[in-house]
Amino acid sequence: MKIHATSHNTFFVSAFFMSLIILPGCSWFGSEEKPKPQREAGKAAPAVPGVEYATDSSSVVVSMDGRPVVTEKSLEAEYQQLLQDNPQIEQMLPLMGGKDGLLDRLTAALADRSVLRRFIVEEGISSQSDYQAERDRMIKSVTDMLNVKYFNKKYVATVSNRDVHDFYDKNKDTMPELLISRGGVQASGIKFANEADAKAFMAKLKAAKNDLGTAAKEAGLDNKIEEFQLVHSQSVGLPPVLRDKISAMTSFPSVELIKVADDAFWVVKGASKEDTVYREFDHVKDNLKRFLEDSKREEIAGKAINDLKEKYDIKIEKTFGSGMPMMPGMPAMSEEEIEELSAEMPQAA
């Protein structure tokens, strides 16, 4: 579950409370009715520290000791916040009885939240040192993420459509995201330990009209044929010289003798060539634009951090010989990166 620090109430949307909201019939505290202490009619018990009471004048939905903890207005606010923080829930509404069904689950979860908050205070748990230390640590972590998020918001980068198109043209051969197929030369070959043997086999291959399989069988080398499949400039697992020579072939079918090393000579057949197939620019331009804007924003934000370090006279007084380079500035995190980091944190009710 991702934390969105957009409201002081949003922390209740943790895995614990989400299970109460989404799972049918799920109630952590159970549903058995227990005898309640009688209270004089018209009088509410004193407020309990730690419990968040509703103060608006709308109809009461949940009360605790005669005091409203959830009203129609506060419930609607929680409902809207829930959908904003977890848009996927809207698609699940039909499975939960629509909005009314979700409101019933949300009401039960909010009632349980109030019980839990009161219990933690009345049992003295919130006063325990380990509880307070963990709460302070979590508050600092969330505050740091919020600081990064709003720092990044100050540095908005814009990228022109021309810049996006130029980036596409320049990088479409090297970025996997911009390729459907790299294409390449369909090739196969046999490796020889010396040039004389390679040349002798080349003669047999030409006599066999460049039929590598036939020539290899006649020479007793049919088990030595290696299929390279499609070879292109980014192919891995091949010696660079061999890769480059094969990918540079222009006529097909053709055969070449390629020296890779003093003890490595390849007789290669290029059978055909497939063209590179790119993703259409219109299909990737929006993602490319966001990528370039994020990259530009990180550059701007990094410079801003360095300027602030100088302004605040930040000095690294001690290093520990880790061998890691000292980064010139803090890398700016995207909202997605912040959310991924927050997903790894313990959730708070």
Confidence band for 186, pLDDT divided at 50, 70 and 90: very high
Q: What is the arithmetic mean of pLDDT over 11-24? A: 46
pLDDT for residue 81 = 92
Res. 327: pLDDT tops 70: no
> Residue 334 domain-assigned?
no
Element (H, E) at 264: strand 264-274
pLDDT for residue 91 = 85
pLDDT in tens, 104-132: 999 999 999 999 999 999 999 999 999 99
Element (H, E) at 258: strand 254-261
Domain C-terminal end among 228, 244, 275: 275
Is the same domain home to 19 and 88?
A: yes
Q: How high does pLDDT run on average in the chain?
A: 84
pLDDT for residue 146 = 94
Q: What is the arithmetic mean of pLDDT over 83-112? A: 89
Higher pLDDT, 333 or 43: 43
CATH code: domain of residue 233:
3.10.50
Percent pLDDT > 90 in the chain is 63
Task: Report the range of poorest mean pLDDT among 22-36, 155-169, 178-192.
Answer: 22-36
pLDDT in tens, 267-297: 999 999 999 999 999 999 999 999 999 999 9
3-state secondary structure of 48: coil
Is the same domain home to 194 and 104?
A: no
Domain C-terminal end among 79, 97, 127: 127
Is the same domain home to 187 and 123?
A: no
Res. 335: pLDDT tops 70: no
pLDDT for residue 342 = 52
> Residue 69 domain-assigned?
yes
Confidence band for 322, pLDDT divided at 50, 70 and 90: low
> Residue 284 domain-assigned?
no
Considering 37-51, 270-284, 317-331, the range whose residues carry the highest mean pLDDT is 270-284
> Residue 187 domain-assigned?
yes
Return the C-alpha torsion angle 48, 54, 57, 58, nearest 10: -130
pLDDT for residue 89 = 86
Is the same domain home to 202 and 119?
A: no
Res. 214: pLDDT tops 80: yes
Percent pLDDT > 70 in the chain is 79
> Residue 219 domain-assigned?
yes
Is the same domain home to 17 and 96?
A: yes
Is the same domain home to 107 and 200?
A: no
- pTM score of the predicted model: 0.57
pLDDT for residue 25 = 45
Task: Report the range of poorest mean pLDDT among 1-10, 144-153, 190-199, 276-285.
Answer: 1-10
Confidence band for 87, pLDDT divided at 50, 70 and 90: confident
Res. 320: pLDDT tops 90: no
> Residue 155 domain-assigned?
no
Res. 32: pLDDT tops 60: no
Q: Phi, psi at residue 123, to the nearest 5°? A: -85, -5
Domain C-terminal end among 98, 127, 156: 127
pLDDT for residue 219 = 94
Higher pLDDT, 8 or 46: 46
Q: What is the arithmetic mean of pLDDT over 245-261? A: 94
- According to DSSP, residue 66 is labeled T
pLDDT for residue 134 = 97
pLDDT for residue 85 = 87
Query: Beta partners for 278?
Result: 179
pLDDT for residue 271 = 95
> Residue 110 domain-assigned?
yes
Which residue segment(s) compose the domain that 108 sits in? Answer: 10-27+47-127
Res. 43: pLDDT tops 80: no
Q: Residue 113 class from Cβ within 10 Å (0-12 exposed, 13-18 middle, 19+ buried)? A: buried
CA distances from 249 to 187, 231, 240, 243, 336 (A): 10, 10, 14, 10, 44
Higher pLDDT, 86 or 339: 86
Beta strands in 32-82 (DSSP E): 60-64, 67-71
Q: Phi, psi at residue 158, to the nearest 5°? A: -115, 145
Total of domains in the chain: 2
> Residue 342 domain-assigned?
no
